[in-house]
Chains A and B, each alone.
Chain A
Amino acid sequence: MKNRFTSTIVKASLATAFALTSTVANAEGSLSIYHWFEYIPQEVLDKFSEEHDVEVTMDTYDSNESMLATLKAGKLGSYDVAVPGDYMVEIMRNGGLLDSFEPAELSNFDNIMEQWVDVGFDPGRKHSIPYQWGSTSFSVNRDMYEGDINTTGILFEPPEELAGKINMLDSQGEVLALASMHLGIEQCNSNRDELKALNALLQEAKPKWASFNSDGAKDVLVSGDAAAGMIWNGFSAKARNEGANIEYVYPKEGLVVWMDNVVLLKDAPNRDNALKFMDFLLEPENIAAITNFAQYTAGVKGVNELLDADLIASPETNPPADAPAGSFVAVCDEETQKLYDQIWTNLKK
């Protein structure tokens, strides 16, 4: 007994010594990234680190909102860049959490594709550059369901065969946006009858859903636990590559489009390196490596030639000619947002 304790104490003091040496953070020549989980290959970070002799540290988050919460709780000032989604860029911009830059500060600014320069959430790209974009819709297992799938009705008014075998993303914005498209109503709506219809639609659909799961959205499709599932396009491509006979749907009612962006955070401790990193990500070669990894789409010119062959040909990134245009999740004002929060709570209560 005694020996065990002495040995633990020795181990503990070693650990303390280690602790003291490991917390050294060097403000010179460093870059601190706040990034999504599992969204950038380590090799790309290493490459940047080597090219610019900058020590890169990265923290990860699991949702736009949890990133916002952490920054608001006091982490603003410890990160240089973050990677929020479209609507979150607008929220952060409105909330004064972003620093701005001039296009001239980025030598590769002109590499941004035209349609992604003047975007609604950051007109003229004063705070952000495009990272990856994609769509959110759903996929259906063709072994389990052979009928017509080209409609959001698969999720919201499912046929008998699919009832109880549907997984939804646990994401308020995307679920409510897709449901609104199903009803053909505007997002950020304050029309009472339409909102009541939205509420009723979800209430009725809920018993036919098996689960809400975002992280496992791919796995439930691969394992066959779900016959249909709401999912992001790149994630669906990965599920298909793992052997699931699934088809990603571009429903006629519409689908959600999203774009993640690299933003310059307010009070960034290493503003110069942050801009270097953004410039680095605007090089086709670097952003292509990320696209190949994440299987989404970059917003930079000249990337296409550098992509993997099966990604170029993948149905998840090549919508059919008659596919509807997608729309971003809209950012509502406070009063309207309250109504949507209420509908979501009603759904999950």
Chain B
Amino acid sequence: MNRTHKGLANNMSEANLSIKRYPGFFAVTLFCLFLLYAPLLVVMVYSFNDSVSITRWGGISLRWYYDVFNGAETAKFKTAAWNSISIAVLAAISSTTIATLAALGMIRSARWRGKSVSFALINLPLMVPEIVTAVATLIFFSAIGFRTGYASILIAHIVFCIPFAYLPIAARMQGIESIYEQVAMDLYATRAKAFTKILIPLLMPGIISGFLLAFIISLDDFIITNFVKGAGIETLPTAIFGAVKQGIKPNIMAISTLMLLVSVLLVCISYIVGRSGSITPKKE
């Protein structure tokens, strides 16, 4: 992975770009992005709707944005957004960490009794229908006298985020030959060093994918959160579900648009920070 090797690989792939390219893949990607963003366009456009209905257009207005920041429910939504984001970040960090270690134990081990059971256990949160997890967890929490609140939401989120983080990381790890750690260890690096210095950087795309999936799944969860949250604690989904019972009002559209804005801002910041901060050469 020295520079010459990297340069060579780059030159080679540039010379043979056509080999890498598949006709139509770019079109599919554009189509995919179109599908992802088309409904959001509706959200954005209708956040500027002057009417109270989402199906009737009443002219352009900023009143819903004013309402978001100065309405009666401003405080509620602000706390809810903050709870949601902080829980999603914490749950994603914890579950990604747990999942990375678990993937290392699963993928970098030989066959052993109970390995497939362990695989099923890690993916169990995927398989239990959400409503069952919700009811069961609430019954369990109240049975052991665990007070429902921020902490109970966080724990429940960490649990169901684990497979979402695990699967991309494990898939990535399967594609990395163990020769890298082996060489490092042959050169007297400890296991921990081989893991943090060699494997983690190689795993990074998998870790980022797992982290992002865990993050968005936590950010979006309603059913489980609604059951295990304590009185008075709201996350964005529970607050939004609460507000749309009588039909979606444009203020929800405005809040959603603002969330998009926050996400785009975060991405830009991390891109700029990543650009100026990191000079670590990456593989390939």
Residues of A within 8 A of B (CB): 1-4, 7-9, 11-12, 14-16, 18-19, 22-23, 25, 32, 34, 36-39, 41-43, 46, 57-60, 62, 69-70, 73-75, 78-79, 215-216, 218-219, 222-223, 235, 238, 242-243
Q: How far is the CB of B61 from chain A (nearest CB, A)?
A: 16
Q: Does B24 contact A (CB under 8 A)?
A: no
Interface residues of B in 132-182 (CB under 8 A from A): 135, 138-139, 141-143, 148-151, 154
How many Å lie between the Cα of A233 and that of B230 in the bound state? 33
Pairwise interchain contact B149-A74, C-beta atoms closer than 8 A: no
Pairwise interchain contact B232-A57, C-beta atoms closer than 8 A: yes
Return the 9 tightest CB-CB contacts between A and B, nearest first: A74-B142, A57-B232, A15-B86, A37-B245, A223-B55, A42-B72, A3-B277, A38-B245, A242-B53
Question: Given A75-B148, A242-B56, 10 more contacts at CB 8 Å?
Answer: A12-B90, A15-B86, A32-B231, A32-B232, A37-B243, A59-B232, A73-B139, A74-B139, A218-B247, A222-B247
Pairwise interchain contact B72-A75, C-beta atoms closer than 8 A: no
Q: Does B109 contact A (CB under 8 A)?
A: no
Pairwise interchain contact B245-A3, C-beta atoms closer than 8 A: no
How many Å lie between the Cα of A264 and that of B72 in the bound state? 27
Identify 14 residue pairs between A and B in the complex whose beta-carbon atoms are under 8 Å apart, listed by A's number.
A3-B273, A4-B270, A19-B90, A37-B246, A42-B72, A43-B72, A46-B72, A59-B232, A73-B138, A78-B230, A215-B245, A216-B247, A223-B56, A242-B51
How many Å lie between the Cα of A99 and that of B107 in the bound state? 57
Pairwise interchain contact B277-A2, C-beta atoms closer than 8 A: yes
Partner of B154, one of A4, A19, A235: A19
Contacts of A43 in B (CB 8 A): 72
Contacts of A223 in B (CB 8 A): 55-56
How many residues of chain B get a CB closer than 8 Å to chain A's CBs? 51
Partner of B142, one of A39, A59, A75: A75
Q: How far is the CB of A216 from chain B (nearest CB, A)?
A: 7
Q: Does B40 contact A (CB under 8 A)?
A: no
Contacts of A37 in B (CB 8 A): 241-246
Q: Does B227 contact A (CB under 8 A)?
A: yes
How many Å lie between the Cα of A174 and that of B248 in the bound state? 23
Pairwise interchain contact B227-A70, C-beta atoms closer than 8 A: yes
Pairwise interchain contact B89-A12, C-beta atoms closer than 8 A: yes
Q: Which residue of A lies closest to B89 (CB)?
A: A12
Give the secondary structure class of A's interface: helix
How many Å lie between the Cα of A57 and that of B242 in the bound state? 14
Residue from A1, A3, A14, A222 having most chain B Cβ neighbours under 10 A: A1
How many Å lie between the Cα of A215 and that of B246 in the bound state? 6
Contacts of B227 in A (CB 8 A): 70, 73
Q: Which residue of B lies closest to A214 (CB)?
A: B245
Pairwise interchain contact B56-A218, C-beta atoms closer than 8 A: no
Interface residues of B in 230-268 (CB under 8 A from A): 230-233, 238, 241-248
Pairwise interchain contact B278-A79, C-beta atoms closer than 8 A: no
How many Å lie between the Cα of A22 and that of B234 in the bound state? 11
Contacts of A75 in B (CB 8 A): 138, 142, 148
Contacts of B139 in A (CB 8 A): 73-74
Residue from B151, B245, B274 having most chain A Cβ neighbours under 10 A: B245
Q: Which residue of A lies closest to B243 (CB)?
A: A38
Q: Does B52 contact A (CB under 8 A)?
A: yes
Residues of B within 8 A of A (CB): 51-56, 72-73, 76, 79, 82-83, 85-87, 89-90, 93, 135, 138-139, 141-143, 148-151, 154, 204, 227, 229-233, 238, 241-248, 270, 273-274, 277-278, 280
Pairwise interchain contact A23-B89, C-beta atoms closer than 8 A: no
How many Å lie between the Cα of A34 and that of B73 in the bound state? 17
Q: How far is the CB of A30 from chain B (nearest CB, A)?
A: 9
How many Å lie between the Cα of A74 and that of B152 in the bound state? 14
Q: Which residue of A lies closest to B139 (CB)?
A: A73
Partner of A1, one of B54, B93, B143, B204: B204
Q: Which residue of A lies closest to B142 (CB)?
A: A74
Pairwise interchain contact A74-B247, C-beta atoms closer than 8 A: no
Q: Which residue of B lies closest to A15 (CB)?
A: B86
Q: How far is the CB of B75 from chain A (nearest CB, A)?
A: 9
Contacts of A39 in B (CB 8 A): 245
How many Å lie between the Cα of A12 and that of B83 in the bound state? 12
Pairwise interchain contact A238-B247, C-beta atoms closer than 8 A: yes
Q: How far is the CB of A143 from chain B (nearest CB, A)?
A: 14
Q: How far is the CB of B171 from chain A (nearest CB, A)?
A: 20
Pairwise interchain contact B280-A1, C-beta atoms closer than 8 A: yes
Pairwise interchain contact B90-A16, C-beta atoms closer than 8 A: yes
Contacts of B54 in A (CB 8 A): 219
Q: How far is the CB of A229 from chain B (nearest CB, A)?
A: 13
Q: Which residue of A lies closest to B248 (CB)?
A: A219
How many Å lie between the Cα of A197 and that of B73 in the bound state? 49
Pairwise interchain contact B89-A15, C-beta atoms closer than 8 A: yes
Partner of B89, one of A8, A79, A222: A8
Q: How far is the CB of B262 from chain A (nearest CB, A)?
A: 13
Pairwise interchain contact B242-A60, C-beta atoms closer than 8 A: yes
- Contact A12/B93 with A7-B273, A73-B135 known, Cβ cut-off 8 Å: yes
Contacts of B280 in A (CB 8 A): 1-2
Contacts of B52 in A (CB 8 A): 242
Q: Which residue of A lies closest to B271 (CB)?
A: A4
Pairwise interchain contact B86-A222, C-beta atoms closer than 8 A: no
Pairwise interchain contact B274-A4, C-beta atoms closer than 8 A: yes
Q: How far is the CB of A232 from chain B (nearest CB, A)?
A: 10
Partner of B231, one of A1, A57, A243: A57
Q: Which residue of A lies closest to B249 (CB)?
A: A38
Pairwise interchain contact B232-A25, C-beta atoms closer than 8 A: yes
How many Å lie between the Cα of A74 and that of B145 in the bound state? 10
How many Å lie between the Cα of A22 and that of B247 in the bound state? 30
